[in-house]
């Protein structure tokens, strides 16, 4: 199976210029005729999450230590997840004209969407972490070097979900309406506006079943608390990532040749 996976990605990256073109053109279209351009990628989450964090920190009975650090890191990471997954049901539908005319591996379209959202996320994430560090919200110390590992695991997890939903979205068109609603529910089920310790025991069990929780924690530990993630946390994220990736791959391989007939 490993050889087959490597072969699939080697084939997809033969079209790296196509992927780059998709990402570049989508970024240009998004900020076309905008005065501030890419600056909005940073300003929007700062204003949006900043206002929410201020309100929620005042409403919370007992705000967690470094509430702003916890909230901003969680909200930005979840924003990346939500944006990528919410669009995933349209990956093949929005590229129908290419799929019917050009023989390009379907993985190319999936990777293009993932890299586009990843580019947007990294611009805002890196900038906000630097600004937050200057204001003492985030901590830059040796454990920060682990953040890229956590992000890679998160991206692999997201990639598996997108593969599954990209195919499912072709066969079940109503998914494009259902997934955004599920994302809203998942936001409140994830410890972003609160910490898991603030919740009653019965709700902590429910939160612990949410895979997003572990990816938030593996990246929060270094930048918010200045600590390395525990080995147990790393192993949980690794298992979840690999499981998601393999399930998504199996689903894509099984149905990718049938997609064209459903468009």
What's the half-sphere exposure (Cβ side, CA atoms, 13 Å) at 13? 7
* Per-residue pLDDT at 262: 81
| Per-residue pLDDT tens digits for 42-96 | 666 666 666 665 665 555 544 566 777 788 888 889 999 999 999 999 999 988 8
Which of the residue ranges 25-34, 47-56, 100-109, 222-231 has the most confident prediction, judged by mean pLDDT?
222-231
In this predicted structure, the answer to whether residue 199 has a pLDDT above a threshold of 90 is: no
Stretch 100-113: mean pLDDT: 89
| Per-residue pLDDT tens digits for 162-191 | 999 999 999 999 899 999 999 999 998 999
In this predicted structure, the answer to whether residue 140 has a pLDDT above a threshold of 90 is: no
Q: Give percent of the chain with pLDDT exceeding 70.
A: 86
DSSP state of 132: H
Mean pLDDT of the chain: 85
b or e along 50-65 (b: 16 or more beta carbons within 10 Å of the residue's beta carbon)? eeebeeeeeeeeebbe
SS3 (DSSP) at 24:
helix
In this predicted structure, the answer to whether residue 234 has a pLDDT above a threshold of 80 is: yes
Q: How far apart are CA 169 and CA 89, in angstroms?
A: 4
* Per-residue pLDDT at 193: 80
b or e along 240-263 (b: 16 or more beta carbons within 10 Å of the residue's beta carbon)? bbeebbeebbebbeebbeebeeee
Confidence tier at 32 by pLDDT (50, 70, 90): low
Confidence tier at 236 by pLDDT (50, 70, 90): very high
* Per-residue pLDDT at 55: 60
Q: How far apart are CA 172 and CA 178, in angstroms?
A: 10
């Amino acid at each position: 199976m490993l050889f087959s996976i490597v072969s699939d990605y080697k084939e997809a990256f033969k079209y790296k210029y196509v992927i780059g073109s998709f990402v570049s053109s989508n970024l240009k279209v998004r900020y076309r005729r905008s005065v501030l351009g890419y600056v909005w990628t940073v300003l929007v989450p700062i204003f949006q999450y900043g206002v929410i964090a201020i309100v929620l920190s005042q409403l919370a009975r007992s705000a967690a230590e470094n509430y702003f650090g916890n909230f901003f890191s969680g909200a930005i990471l979840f924003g990346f997840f939500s944006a990528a997954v919410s669009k995933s049901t349209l990956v093949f539908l929005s590229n129908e004209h290419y799929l019917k005319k050009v023989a390009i591996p379907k993985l190319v379209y999936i990777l293009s969407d993932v890299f586009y959202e990843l580019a947007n996320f990294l611009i805002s994430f890196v900038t906000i972490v630097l600004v937050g560090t200057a204001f003492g919200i985030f901590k830059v110390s040796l454990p920060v070097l682990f953040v890229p590992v956590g992000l890679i695991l998160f991206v692999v997890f997201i990639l598996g979900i997108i593969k599954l939903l990209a195919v499912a979205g072709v066969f079940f068109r109503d998914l494009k309406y259902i997934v955004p609603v599920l994302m809203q529910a998942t936001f409140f089920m994830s410890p972003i506006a609160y910490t898991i310790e603030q919740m009653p025991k019965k709700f902590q069990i429910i939160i612990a079943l949410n895979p997003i929780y572990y990816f938030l924690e593996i990246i929060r530990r270094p930048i918010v608390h200045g600590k390395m993630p525990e080995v147990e946390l790393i192993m949980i994220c690794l298992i979840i990532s690999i499981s998601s990736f393999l399930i998504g791959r199996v689903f894509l391989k099984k149905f990718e040749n049938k997609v064209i007939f459903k468009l």
